[in-house]
Chains A and B, each alone.
Chain A
Amino acid sequence: MKKLIPALTLLALTLTGAAAQEKSITIASTTSTQDSGLFSHLLPIFKARTGIDVKVIAQGTGQALDTGRRGDADVLFVHAKPQEEEFVAQGFGVARFDVMYNDFVLIGPASDPAGLKGSKDIAAALVKIQTQGAPFVSRGDKSGTHAAELALWKEAGVDLGAKRGAWYREIGQGMGAALNTAKAMEAYVLADRGTWISFKGKEGLTIAVEGDKRLFNQYGVILANPAKFAWVKKEPGQAFIDYVLSDEGQKTIADYKIEGQQLFFPNAKR
């Protein structure tokens, strides 16, 4: 019992120590930027340049924007342009900037039950999946990928409200979980290329459709509005945005490769 007292004191000390970290910002971002390993590549370089610690909370884009609306993040790094513009228009963010893009790919089981392999027409592929009733896993979590998927069904002219059935399975989880589920259920799933390349359990899955212009996936970055949320760390937050938009930051993004494949393509406008 007597040994408990110093142990407690030690705990209390380490706790307060952890809370006292200065010069750090919180970024609400998407599972794709985290799961693909981009942040693990980018943030140490950023920290070395600026001394700023970045804490990343990886959520779906919808949830990340909600986190921003509650004032719980300094910077947002997400991929659903219309919702991001709405976020800024509502006054929650200062301004939105394009950072980079990659593309979505339609992943399916190696057996390819709907016979889509090699197709470049995502709309036609989706129609085939629906008419044949091939299993399809939807993120269903209001993420950027989920928003993109819903937009593609609309583009394909499939009314999910009327046509959805047992073949359409919403799981309400992140990208990695959706890929795991698709693999287990031999289903098709829409994924961002970054997560797909870095996904470790690819066996049994393959790319069914890629290369369609409509599969374009734009990422943007937004500083939370200090006028609305007084506690937003404006300077270090802006420093992060300036960095990813700078030549050096853009090159760092382009340099991130897995097995020789580039995951994200910088396209900041200047």
Chain B
Amino acid sequence: MMEEPSAWRLIASADPALFGIVYLSLKISLSAVVAAGLMGFPLGALLAFTSFPGRGALIVLTNAFMGLPPVVVGLCVFLALSRSGPLGSLGLLFTPTAMIIAQAILITPIIVALTRQTIEDLWSEYRNELLAMGLSPLGCLLTLLYDARISLLTTLLAGFGRAAAEVGAVMIVGGNIEGFTRTMTTAIALETSKGDLPLAMSLGLLLILIVIGVNASTWLLSALARRRMG
């Protein structure tokens, strides 16, 4: 491909601006994944584990929200964090924190839905054994989360993939401020609009490489764990 050399040149020159963009992208997406995991794992497990009126509707809703449009989430967070919005006094609009919030909202439904499915399947498998060993409901929940950890890692990965790839939400709430809220995806959008398609393409390739790298290392980790734990 014609465009490739400029990507390699950028990487080879260890351009600090490029490094900053990559670092910020990873920081935002990983933070969002961690936040979504902290909310999504317990919620998903609880949903798998309890029965109450409206549970079915809630499951349908979380499944549907897996496809939440990033721009809509971005717009909602924008309106909430804007100085004239309800949370305006926090002064978070156009900051990395706002971008993490938006992405966390975007991927929490993914984590909840996939966690619920995983835990529900494992629970139907483990139920009798755990109850026969006299585990409390909380003990069951913790055991399920622990034993499902490899599948849950894949769940986090799905969330990370979506966070790292989306541009709509971070563009709106981050403002694409150079050196402050510019991520790989917003930089790609910007370079495209500036007509610098080779640079945009290079950044795109770099983003794909990074996502592949994260996935590969997670895969290795879970393959190792599976070999040891079965």
Task: Determine if A57 and B193 form an interchain contact, defined as CB atoms under 8 angstroms apart.
Answer: no
For the complex, what is the distance from the CA of A55 to the CA of B181, rounded to whole Å?
Answer: 9
From A40, A174, A176, A229, B178 is in contact (CB under 8 Å) with: A40
Out of A55, A198, A200, which one reaches B180, CB within 8 Å? A55
- Distance A70 CA – B177 CA, assembled complex (angstroms): 18
Query: Cβ of A71: which chain B residues have Cβ within 8 Å of it?
Result: 82-84, 88
B36 to chain A, nearest CB (A): 13
Question: Given A15-B31, A57-B175, A231-B83, are A199 and B194 also a contact pair (CB < 8 Å)?
Answer: yes
When distances are taken between beta carbons in the complex, the residues of chain B under 8 Å from A70 are 82-85
Which stretch of B94-102, B107-115, B120-128 is in the interface? B94-102
Chain B interface, >50% SS class: loop
Distance of B78 from chain A, by nearest CB (Å): 9
Query: Is A221 interfacial (CB-CB < 8 Å)?
Result: no
A180 touches B30 (CB 8 A): no
CB of A201 within 8 A of CB of B197, answer yes
Q: Is A177 located at the chain interface by the 8 A CB criterion?
A: yes
Q: How far is the CA of A199 from the CA of B193 in the complex (A)?
A: 9
A35: chain B residues within 8 A (beta carbon):
190, 193-194
Say whether A250 faces chain B, with CB atoms less than 8 Å apart.
no
Tell me, rounded to whole Å, the shortest Cβ–Cβ distance linking A152 to chain B.
23
Is B195 on the interface with A (CB-CB < 8 A)?
yes
Q: Is A72 an interface residue (CB 8 A)?
A: yes
Q: How far, in angstroms, from A58 to B193 measured CA to CA in the complex?
A: 12
Could you tell me which B residues sit within 8 Å of A by CB distance? 27, 30-31, 34, 82-85, 88, 91, 93-97, 100, 149, 175-178, 180-181, 190, 192-197, 199
What are the 10 tightest A-B residue pairs by CB atom distance, in nearest-first order?
Answer: A176-B193, A201-B195, A71-B83, A57-B175, A200-B196, A55-B177, A200-B195, A199-B195, A70-B84, A177-B193
Q: List chain A positions with a Cβ less than 8 A from chain B.
A: 1, 8, 11, 14-15, 18-19, 26, 31, 35, 39-40, 55-58, 70-72, 173-177, 179-180, 198-202, 229, 231
